[in-house]
Structure 1
Amino acid sequence: MKRSFLLRTRILVLGGLGLIAATYGLVRLAYGLFLPDVQHDLGFGADVGGAVSSGASALYCVGAVAGFLLAGRAARWLVVGAALTAGVGVIVMAASPTAPVFGASAVVASTGAGLASPAMVQLVAGRVDGAVRDRAQAVVNSGTGPGLVAAGVLALVLLPDWRTAWTVAGVVTLLVGAVVFLAAGPIGRAVTSGRAPRAVLPDRSWFGAQVVPVVVALLFGAGSAVVWTYGRSALVSAGVPSALTVVAWIVLGVGGASVAVTARWTSGVPAARTWSLTTTLAAVAVLALGLLPHLVVAALMACAVFGWAYTAATGALIAWTTETDQQHAAAGTALLFVVLVAGQALGAAAAGALVEPAGTEATFTIAAAVVAIAAAVPLLVARRGLRSAVPTR
């Protein structure tokens, strides 16, 4: 029986990686990859594209709040909700005859990612042994990278036929959701003795401990949104050949996927320190992508760095809230991811309003500055804490 339990655990972790890959990389974050071709076919501008991205981020937050409230009691059913909203939503996107239909279905499809993260955190916490739980969480969270790579491969093969690409993404999302649901079933519940207790709402002191992560997550979300929404558009506008712009997106995904390899080193580092390192690199990458999109090698390097840094930073948020209170790890993940994506909603709307009148360089430079502030805040707080701890004469 132990061997079958171990197999079920491995399937759960790999399936969880696949669910994150599908709901984030293939559906939610692939929006920016396919946006130039969708705009060409459906006839809407950058301002509408930014508004749709902002609305999708808002509904993601709704899904993540639902995960915050329900992960402790119904994590498996959250997986079903994630697969259905993302999978069916993206299939409707693929069939959309008009911009309003496309925008509405894109907003709904984004909900799946919000449901998936807290559900997988709860399932891994309750079904994976404590000795390897942190690494398992990092592996599942790194699914964004492989999802981006898969989206890029679909784009490279199928574009400008974005409809077929998103139809494939929808079918894959529904299938991988079914795998996770079955792997986390009643038999899988006894995989380890480390089953997490049913979550209860945190108390006031817990929320107080989340203030710094909440602030920096909001800032990072706002600054990083420009890459997810207009990253490929910046390359297209700079005259980079279409195939190379898709390759850049694939490189971004490879950078995110490499987090599964580097997790063995970053998992031993305090979460706040990991956060500052990863977001500093992300700020540099955003700046490079905005200022040097015409230099293909520099743009590819920026995409790789940003992919790794963004995914590792989101993993640092999970580790940060887990360090605070492991019992409420799913609730903390939902809270921080809600704030992160709320920041993306603000950032996407702001970038959409700025990119045409102010230009790509100015928009990306402002975004990089916001990300840099997110990197600096924990260091400033830590330094202030050390100073306050020094006795005065």
Structure 2
Amino acid sequence: MVSSHKRELTLTAAGLALIAVSYGLARYAYGLFAPTLRAEFDLDGGTLGAIAAGSYVAYCLAVAASTAITARWGARAGALAAGTTATTGTALIAAAPSAALLTLGVVLAGASTGLASPSLADAVSRTVRVTRRDRAQTVVNAGTGLGVLVSGPVALLAVGDWRLAWWAFAATSALVTLWIARVVAPGGQAKPGDGLPVPLFPPATGRLLPAAAMLGLASAAIWTFGRDIAVGIGGLGETESTVVWIVLGASGLIGAFTAELTSRAGLRRTWSAGMVLFAVATALFALATRSLPALIVAAALFGAVYIGLTSVLILWGTRAYPASPAFGVGVAFLMLALGQAAGAPLIGFLGDVADLRVGFLAAAVMALLGVLFAPPEQTTTYNFGIRSLSRVSSVPPQRESRAGCA
């Protein structure tokens, strides 16, 4: 039996919090502290990018692990693994005496995101009514913006002692993990004998996978070097550059409304418009680096569009694999992370041999190319509990799962 509305709301709130600590704190706060870490550990741009790439590779491995864990033991096991890994990784970063241990912490912290997304997508798909499911998925995914938003003020409060900020991140991650343990029930998992989905790569993945990879390539610039370029080239101070980061996170909360947007415009139009705006935001970082107002606009645009586009990937992935939502989100986010893993060191290298602005412009071009992989249009109809809406999607509608959490 599908869970009560109160239980759905509680799961959505806890899921949003887990995404906030794993993505916004454990993973993307690395970019916020990049200038400080560069000075603290005497790192060049290529090394900063390589460490970030290690985080993305760990994410790739964790996605595969989370998909297997969720299928075998249920969404709760995957979500708890995500929270535990986020706590361990952020604590290691806080205590790191060397670049080697810093790298280990960043890698573990990055792995938490790969564990979180598939398990939470599965929990939402199996617990939330179909009429509210898309909204719940996109609200949970908007947790990235919340985490980034929180990390900025924490960094300002801990100015002069960056380790204190990371200890705060670790403590927050631990508290959220305890909440997840109470909210995500152990029941509702797939049977232990369940295998890979058949077909393994349905037709919808022909566009889904390269689209996700292009978004990953393009997003590596701002996530890894956004604050670095604002400080190193734009000349912004500690407070100004952190404000840019806070704006990025706050605007990411707009991504919670992606379900409503796609219900009207469809996945294809939403994706295409989003990638164009994404390119504009990335190019602004390169072309208007010394203008604080322009960077604030660029950060706001990037935050809203990035969370929106990753929400599209979640909706697209769960439709491509209606019987295996964790697998659908897993393969989409795996390609996203592979793109980021390739993009981070490449952009760092371009910054070392030429200028970071060259890397950002290259990332903007990647975003424009991502428009080519927009999902094909196919009209279906969904009801969001308010009124019926015409939806444009890339695959036929999924049936409501009857497997609820105990």
> 1:60-139 residue pairs with structure 2 within 5 A?
60-74=59-73, 75-139=75-139
Report the Cα offset of residue 378 of structure 1: 2.2
Q: Indicate whether 1:360 and 2:359 are aligned.
A: no
1:223 is the counterpart of 2:187 = no
Q: Secondary structure at the match of 2:33?
A: helix
Give the partner amino acid of 1:226: A
Q: Shift of the alpha carbon at 1:19?
A: 0.1
Could you tell me which runs of 5 or more consecutive residues in structure 1 were left unpaired when the two chains were aligned.
Answer: 190-194, 383-393
The match for 1:271 is 267
Deviations 1:130-174 (A, max 9, x none): 110110011001100000001111112212321111111111112
Runs (4+) of structure 1 exceeding 4 A deviation are 195-200
Greater displacement, 198-207 / 223-232: 198-207
Amino acid at match of 1:32: G
What amino acid sits opposite 1:214 in the alignment?
L
Query: How far does the alpha carbon of each residue in 1:245-302 deviate from its partner, in whole angstroms, 9 at most, with x for none?
Result: 0000000001111222454333444223221121111111000111111111111000
Alpha-carbon displacement from aligned partner over 1:39-84 (angstroms, at most 9, x marks no partner): 2112221111111000110001100111222323321111111111
| Cα distance in 2 between the residues matched to 1:170 and 1:355 | 31
Which deviations, in whole Å up to 9, do the C-alpha atoms of 1:320-372 show, x marking residues without a partner?
Answer: 12222321221010001011011000000101111121102211111100111
SS of the equivalent of 2:374 reads helix
Equivalent-residue separation in structure 2 for 1:66 and 1:261 (angstroms): 29
- Report what 2:19 is aligned to: 20
**1:201 corresponds to:** 196
Residue identity matched to 1:157: L
C-alpha separation in 2, matches of 1:230 and 1:282:
16
CA–CA distance in structure 1, aligned partners of residues 62 and 164 of structure 2: 26
Are the aligned partners of 1:67 and 1:115 in contact in 2 as well (CA < 8 Å)?
Answer: yes
- The question of whether the paired residues in 1 share the 8 Å contact of 2:90 and 2:167 is answered with yes
Aligned residues: 373
Alignment partner, residue 294 of structure 1: 290
Pick closer, same or farther for the CA change 1:300–1:130 going to 2, 3 Å: same
> For structure 2, which runs of at least 5 residues remain unmatched after alignment?
378-406
Superposed displacement of residue 200, structure 1: 4.2
What is the alpha-carbon distance in structure 1 between the residues aligned to residue 306 and residue 14 of structure 2? 21
What corresponds to 2:32 in structure 1?
33
CA distance in 1, matches of 2:258, 2:66: 28
How is 1:169-318 mapped onto 2 (pairs within 5 angstroms)?
169-185=169-185, 200-204=195-199, 206-237=201-232, 238-261=234-257, 263-318=259-314
Tell me whether 1:320 sits opposite 2:319 in the alignment: no
Q: Which amino acid aligns with 1:71?
A: T
Check the 8 A contact 2:208/2:373 in 1, yes or no.
no
**Aligned partners of 2:245 and 2:299 also within 8 Å:** yes
Q: What SS does structure 2 have at the residue aligned with 1:326?
A: coil
Range with greater deviation from structure 2 (343-352 or 265-274): 265-274
The whole-number CA distance in structure 2 between the counterparts of 1:109 and 1:206 is 29
Query: SS at the partner of 1:294?
Result: coil
Specify the code of the residue in structure 2 equivalent to 1:174.
A
Give, in angstroms, the shift of residue 375 of structure 1: 1.9
Preserved contact between residue 69 and residue 77 of structure 2 (Cα < 8 Å): no
Q: Which amino acid aligns with 2:108?
A: V
1:87-145 Cα shifts (integer Å, max 9, x gaps): 11110110001111111111111111100000100111111111101100110011000
Alpha-carbon shift at residue 212 of structure 1 (Å): 0.8
2:43 is matched with 44
Task: Give TM-score scaled by structure 2 length.
Answer: 0.87
Counterpart of 2:311, as a letter, is G
On the 8 A contact 1:236/1:245 being kept in 2, the answer is yes
Cα distance change, pair 129–204 in 1 and its aligned pair in 2 (3 A): closer
Amino acid at match of 1:125: S
The residue type paired with residue 213 of structure 2 is: L
CA distance in 1, matches of 2:63, 2:54: 14
Equivalent position of 2:7 in the other structure: 8
Of 197-206 and 245-254, the range deviating more from structure 2: 197-206
Q: For 1:35 and 1:64, how far apart are their aligned partners in 2?
A: 25
Which letter maps to 2:82? A
Q: 1:168 aligns to what? A: 168
Give the Cα–Cα distance (whole angstroms) in 2 for the partners of residues 275 and 160 of structure 1. Answer: 41
Rounded Cα–Cα distance in structure 1 between residues aligned with 2:311 and 2:23: 14
1:374 aligns with 2:373: no
Which stretch has the larger CA shift, 318-327 or 335-344? Answer: 318-327
8 Å contact kept, 1:156–1:247: no
**Cα drift, residue 5 of structure 1:** 4.2
Kept in 2, the 8 Å contact 1:248–1:303? The answer is yes
State the one-letter code of the partner of 2:224: T
Task: Tell me the distance in 2 between the aligned counterparts of 1:352 and 1:72.
Answer: 37
CA distance in structure 2 between the partners assigned to 1:91 and 1:170 by the alignment: 5
**Aligned equivalents of 2:115, 2:126: Cα separation in 1:** 17
Deviations 1:204-254 (A, max 9, x none): 364443121101111110111010110001110211122010000000001
Which residue pairs with 2:54 in the alignment? 55
Q: Are the aligned partners of 1:62 and 1:111 in contact in 2 as well (CA < 8 Å)? A: yes
